[in-house]
Amino acid sequence: MTEFKDTEVEMREFRLRVTTLGGLVFLCFLLLLARFVWLQIVKHNDFAVKAEENRISLLPVVPNRGLILDRNGVVLARNYSAYTLEITPSKLEAPLDDTIAELSKLVAVEVKDRRRFKKLMDDSKGFESVPLRTHLTDEEVARFSAQHFRFPGVEVQARLFRQYPLGESASHVIGYIGRVSRAEADALDDSDDAANYRGTDHIGKEGLEKSYEKLLHGQAGFEEVEKTSTGRAVRTLSRTPAKAGSNLILSIDIELQKIVEEAFGDRRGALVAIEPETGDVLAFVSRPGYDPNLFVDGIDTQSWDELNTSADKPMVNRPLSGTYAPGSTFKPFMALAALELGKRTPSQVTYDPGYFMLGGHRFNDDVAGGHGSVDMRRSIIVSCNTYYYSLGHDMGINAIHDFMQPFGFGQQTGIDLDNEKTGALPSPEWKARRFKGAAGRWVGGDTISVSNGSGLNAYTPLQIAHAVANLANNGVVMKPHLVKIVEDSTTHARKLTVAQQSYRIPLKQENIDFIKNAMVGVTSEPGGTAYRVFANAGYTVGGKTGTAQVITIKKGEKYNAARLAERLRDNALFTAFAPVDKPRIVLAMVVENAGHGGEAAAPIARKALDYYLLGKRPAEKDKNKVDKQDTENGDAPAT
């Protein structure tokens, strides 16, 4: 049977299919046209910018860090350029250990380099480059460059490095810079300075490098660089130069600083010297010190452990955060308080039998038989403990606390360094906060001990120096500072940082003059506890020795240094100002576990004053030690 095709139906179906397909093609064309309009017209500007960004990169230009100089222009911190071999772990194609092993065939890689690299890598993000070796020689750079193609993810970079040319000297003042840690990087990313720190690898970690970080860092610049699709730079289109950081000119006299550091030798302690009229800190010594250059490239684990586990605690900034009982250096302030508050007159005599009794408790004097009848001036010159036991009992702790506070005891001075300790100016309220329960109750014996500079007193050497400066400056209080001038590195315009007086302590001039005169007797009259040390000084100096116990001696026992471990012996202290008529320098110092202030501390102060006032340097033979024959009389422990 023959089938007949319905051509008309077939044509209709064919036309329908063609129409449908044509409609689909037209719809696709409309979609393409719409997309084209969207990309080329609506989003043209956005994509043009992205295309330009792919073609042009903005590269940060890291500014030169500002210099740090002493008051006479001696450079204490500077910059220099050197080549580093750096690894970006995320870009490596071979295992890290294998890469380092191969690199060590071209460039010397020591064990300490590996330890430092591991420490830095643990503290960095995986996409950051980490230095394996620094300070490459030209020959090492050439050897690596010839084999560079074998090491994707490894580059030689020219970097600016920080250098501290005097090493340990003034290390606790200057501080150091180090690699930006992960925590610091995150904090910078969230700060207003994020753009300014793009490309920056190092930041101030301690000392003035940290507290003046923003000024020292400067202002970052940038380069517009045209590059190929593979990322290779073709040419620089424009450049906005970086602005170098400001230079810091310190109040420190680095020669004075070095003389004091050498005089300490291998002993532990601190000294702060201040110009009372301005608050300029002339010397800021913490012994032992450390070499800040160790931290610039990233300190290796072994060196870090040695610094942090040393019993001598070289990383502790003793003038700023070490707290000590002031011992008998507290007595001139107690005497001044007695005059100002009407508790004693200069001629009033206290009899010293060698002890003071309070409620059945015996507080001993340093002289077994006592000093006999003692007036105020003699009490300072011979450092009579019993006089101040009696005075403190009559004054009461609240009067002592309120008088001492304006001098800066137990208060932060506001010096331009971070992490300054407050110390402790005792009072019943302070003790109740500090100790729990019955241990926080104030008792009469606490007042007796505090009045003699021992007991609960705890002050930093900086606070003691500041207090003596306020006394020497007749009650005018100047905030101590280490940076004297901030200098613009481009224009060399200078700005003084010296502030006006903070406030004035209301004191009677005749009372100040009396105390100063008594302190002159300490250094110039027979029987004075620093008389032998300052014989033939060539200038008039007011001083006060001090000795403070580190441990409590049991009732009925007598202090015997020979029977104690060295670190349990008394601390030696000394304070001074000179010349007396118009003081140019004030100092306060402590030599830890060294015994009498007149024997161990005052001779170091003599060397400092001889240099600063007379330009006299210590003889070569005694640069690193103080001979005991320099002194005869010492101040006994404050008890």
- The residues carrying an active-site annotation are 328
- Ligand-binding annotation for 352, yes or no, is yes
- Ligand-binding annotation for 361, yes or no, is no
Q: Collapsing DSSP states into helix, strand and coil, what is residue 68?
A: strand
Residue 136 identity = L
Report which DSSP code applies to 263. Answer: H
CA angle 315, 588, 446 (to 5 degrees): 90
Angle, in degrees to the nearest 10, between helices 385-395 and 444-451:
130
CA-CA distance, 80 to 293, in Å (whole number)?
Answer: 13
CB 553 within 8 A of CB 332: no
CB 631 within 8 A of CB 534: no
CA angle 529, 597, 589 (to 5 degrees): 125
Alpha-carbon torsion (252, 530, 351, 345), positive or negative: negative
Task: Give the chain's end-to-end CA distance (angstroms, integer).
Answer: 137
Q: Which two tokens stand for residue 397?
A: 């702790």
Alpha-carbon torsion (589, 592, 593, 599), positive or negative: negative
Q: Collapsing DSSP states into helix, strand and coil, what is residue 598?
A: helix
Rounded to a whole number of angstroms, the CA Rg of the chain reads: 36
Residue 567 identity = R
Residue 582 identity = K
What separation in angstroms does the CA of 52 have from each of 39, 199, 224, 240, 622?
16, 22, 11, 19, 70
Residue with tokens 């481009």: 490
Residue with tokens 């024959």: 629
Nearest Cα to Cα of residue 588 among 547, 543, 623, 638: 543
CB 558 within 8 A of CB 368: no
Residue 119 identity = K
CB 327 within 8 A of CB 571: yes
CB 169 within 8 A of CB 257: yes
CA-CA distance, 548 to 591, in Å (whole number)?
Answer: 11
Full 3-state SS string of 482-501: CEEEEECCCCCCEEECCCCC
Angle, in degrees to the nearest 10, between helices 254-264 and 602-614:
160
Q: Collapsing DSSP states into helix, strand and coil, what is residue 588?
A: strand
- Ligand-binding annotation for 217, yes or no, is no
**476 phi, psi to nearest 5 deg:** -85, 120
CA-CA distance, 462 to 323, in Å (whole number)?
Answer: 10
CA-CA distance, 366 to 378, in Å (whole number)?
Answer: 15
Q: Collapsing DSSP states into helix, strand and coil, what is residue 56?
A: strand
DSSP conformation letters of 3-45: ----HHHHHHHHHHHHHHHHHHHHHHHHHHHHHHHIIIIITHH
Q: Is 619 left (phi over 0), alpha (psi -120 to 50) or beta?
A: beta
Residue 639 identity = T
**Residues annotated within a binding site for Zn(2+):** 352, 365, 371, 384
